[in-house]
């Protein structure tokens, strides 16, 4: 289990973990390196080159803003969403940037952020190069980063064939690299998946209380994004002028409730609402939790809120079990396939979130390990081949509705798994391998480039 709970679920700003959180963290890492090399105070110029998907959809996904904020010294989990526009506008208008809040350098985003749309930087489609130089043009430092999905950043080896996470999670006592190994561990140790993950997290210098505190913090941030999304009305940022829907749906559902109108499928309306609310918050650049990415941030919260509201006996422990179990499933995808839309299409974002949510929901309801593995498998099996084709490069169409569809599918997958004894034909490992192979075979235009699918078939005016 290479990826920890703390890496998989991160509080940050939307609309895209790989295109906003990753580049922002990469800027912070570059500054930290300059400081370590005692070069920081000589810097007079910074140029950022964006490659592949970051160059193609970077403007719609807010990569330019994220880079400016990262260079200003902001961090995704600490930034105040309401301060973002003012900070970015100040840099754009003045042509000056206060690097890490300490030294002022000339910076014009139109000149100093370069979009190399026809180039990629091996080995990953989301490459960034930062170059710092003196006034005379002497290069002080140059560093490549890769935003590999879910806000994780990595650097490559010298021949560009292998990636190393910047934050590599330390080894754990109950390591597993496949679904089968995880099931074996549960059987041998007599533990649930959630207990295995908890023990691993505690081995990384965290107490049980700290892990529980983080789990509760994540859920509170998710819950707050549902609440905010239900209150906000109006139009989302960007050229599409997409109208927010969550607010109106919320008002209508409340009215229905007051009038006691019986519709057996109203539960689905609520689940759709929760997912739309978070996804609209994400699209507006507000605070959400990567789960495992920002584009798919609505699914896991929507299914937790469904558990909390509609499942008898739901409690805080159930939510903790849910998130710990979802971490195990997410880490299998991150380790054996990908959670990046630019690498494997939307099956790596909405597909993985759906699989994590289905597994989490079974765990919350005290399903056993084989039922959890089955739910995770079903949820991904029916997302295989899902492409990433955001219209106008914005994380809005098809992303927002896709979260609602993913949440409903996750609940259904959990119900199918809970209705059986865990015996099933297709293993989670097989479906993860299939997802990876399908992603490799997928044409590049369907991998977060906005050059295929809905992105070219939906008129923009
Ligand atoms: S289509 Fe899916 S992978 Fe692509 S930006 Fe939207 S949510 Fe992310």
Domain of 74: which CATH number?
A: 3.30.1330.90
- Calculate how far, in angstroms, residue 72's C-alpha sits from the geometric centre of ligand 1: 28
Cβ contact 301:289 at 8 Å? yes
Q: 396: CA distance to ligand 1 center in Å?
A: 8
Both tokens of 403, joined, read: 């979260």
Q: Is 296 in the pocket of ligand 1 (CB under 6 A)?
A: yes
For 9, 62, 184, 403, the CA distances from 203, given in Å and listed in that order, are: 18, 36, 20, 33
Minimum CA distance residue for ligand 1 atom 3: 346
Report yes or no on 9 lying in a domain.
Answer: no
Neighbours of 135 (CB within 10 A): 11
CA of 304 to the centre of ligand 1 (A): 21
In a domain, 172, yes or no: no
102 and 215 co-located in one domain: no
Domain limits at 295?
A: 179-203+205-457
Per residue in 390-410, pLDDT (tens digit) is: 999 999 999 999 999 999 999
Nearest CA to ligand 1 atom 1: 388
Find out whether the beta carbon of 343 lies less than 6 Å from any atom of ligand 1: no
pLDDT at 167: 78
Range with the poorest average pLDDT among 36-45, 56-65, 439-448: 56-65
Is residue 174 one of the residues assigned to a domain? no
Q: Tell me, using a 6 A CB cutoff, whether residue 448 lines ligand 1.
A: yes
Residue of the nearest CA to atom 6 in ligand 1? 399
What whole-number distance in Å separates Cα of residue 71 and Cα of residue 73?
5
Instruction: Please indicate, yes or no, whether residues 103 and 187 belong to a single structural domain of this protein.
Output: no
Same domain for 31 and 110, yes or no, is: yes
161 and 188 belong to one structural domain: no
Q: Do 420 and 350 share a domain, yes or no?
A: yes
Q: Are residues 153 and 185 in the same domain?
A: no
Are 213 and 138 within one domain? no
Report pLDDT for 414: 98
- pLDDT for 32 beyond 70: yes
Shared domain for 299 and 415, answered yes or no, is yes
What average pLDDT does the chain have?
95
- Helix residue ranges per DSSP H, 337-427: 341-344, 350-364, 369-381, 399-418
388 Cα to the center of ligand 1, angstroms: 5
Question: Is residue 195 located within the same domain as residue 300?
Answer: yes
What does 47-79 look like in DSSP terms, one character per residue? Answer: EEEEEHHHHHHTTTTTHHHHHHHHHHT--TTT-
Whether residue 97 is contained in a domain is answered as yes
Res 168: pLDDT: 72
How many whole angstroms from its chain centre is CA 337? Answer: 15
For residues 372 and 421, membership in a common domain is answered with: yes
Number of domains in the chain: 2
pTM, two decimal places: 0.92
Q: Report the half-sphere exposure of 334 (CA within 13 A, side-chain side).
A: 33
Alpha carbon 318 to its chain centroid, in Å, reads 22
**Ordered DSSP codes for 90-108:** HHHHHSEEEETTTEEEE--
Classify residue 134: in a domain, yes or no: yes
Q: Is residue 436 part of a domain?
A: yes
Are 146 and 213 members of one domain?
A: no
58 Cα to the center of ligand 1, angstroms: 13
- The CA-atom distances, in angstroms, between 345 and each of 148, 194, 295, 349, 454 are 13, 28, 12, 8, 13
Can you give the pLDDT at residue 158? 75
């Amino acid at each position: 289990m290479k990826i920890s709970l703390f890496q998989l679920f991160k509080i940050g700003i939307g609309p895209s973990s790989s295109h906003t959180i990753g580049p922002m963290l990469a800027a912070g890492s570059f500054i930290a390196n300059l400081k370590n090399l005692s070069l920081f105070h000589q810097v007079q110029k910074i140029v950022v080159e964006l490659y592949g998907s970051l160059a193609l959809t970077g403007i719609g996904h807010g990569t330019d803003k994220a880079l400016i904020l990262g260079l200003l010294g902001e961090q995704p989990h600490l930034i105040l969403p309401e301060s973002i526009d003012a900070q970015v506008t100040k840099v754009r208008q003045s042509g000056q940037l206060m690097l890490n809040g300490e030294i002022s350098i000339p910076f014009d985003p139109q000149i100093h952020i370069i979009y190399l749309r026809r180039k990629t930087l091996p080995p990953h489609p989301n490459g960034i190069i930062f170059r710092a130089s003196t006034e005379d043009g002497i290069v002080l430092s140059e560093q490549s980063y890769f935003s590999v999905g879910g806000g994780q950043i990595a650097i490559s080896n010298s021949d560009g064939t292998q990636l190393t996470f910047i934050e590599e999670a330390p080894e754990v006592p109950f390591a597993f690299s496949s679904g089968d190994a995880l099931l074996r561990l549960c059987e041998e140790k007599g533990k649930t998946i959630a207990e295995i993950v908890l023990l691993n997290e505690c081995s990384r210098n965290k107490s049980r209380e700290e892990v529980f505190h983080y789990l509760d913090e994540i859920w509170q941030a998710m819950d707050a994004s549902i609440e905010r999304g239900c209150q906000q009305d109006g139009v989302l940022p960007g050229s599409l002028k997409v109208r927010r829907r969550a607010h109106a749906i919320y008002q209508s559902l409340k009215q229905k409730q007051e009038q006691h109108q019986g519709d057996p499928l109203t539960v689905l309306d609520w689940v759709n609402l929760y997912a739309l609310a978070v996804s609209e918050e994400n699209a507006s650049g507000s605070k959400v939790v990567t789960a495992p990415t920002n584009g798919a941030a609505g699914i896991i919260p929507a299914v937790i809120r469904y558990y909390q509201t509609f499942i008898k006996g739901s409690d805080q422990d159930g939510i903790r079990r849910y998130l710990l179990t979802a971490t195990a499933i997410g880490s299998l995808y991150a380790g054996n396939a990908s959670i990046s839309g630019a690498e494997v299409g939307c099956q790596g974002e909405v597909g993985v979130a759906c699989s994590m949510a289905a597994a989490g929901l079974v765990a919350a309801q005290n399903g056993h390990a084989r039922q959890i593995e089955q739910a995770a498998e079903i949820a991904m099996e029916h997302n295989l081949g899902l492409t990433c084709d955001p219209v106008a490069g914005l994380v809005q169409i098809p992303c927002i509705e896709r979260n609602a569809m993913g949440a409903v599918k996750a609940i259904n997958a959990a119900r199918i798994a809970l209705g059986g004894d865990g015996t099933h034909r297709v293993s989670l490992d097989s479906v993860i391998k299939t997802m990876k192979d399908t992603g490799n075979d997928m044409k590049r235009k369907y991998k977060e480039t906005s050059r295929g699918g809905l992105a070219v078939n939906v008129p923009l005016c």
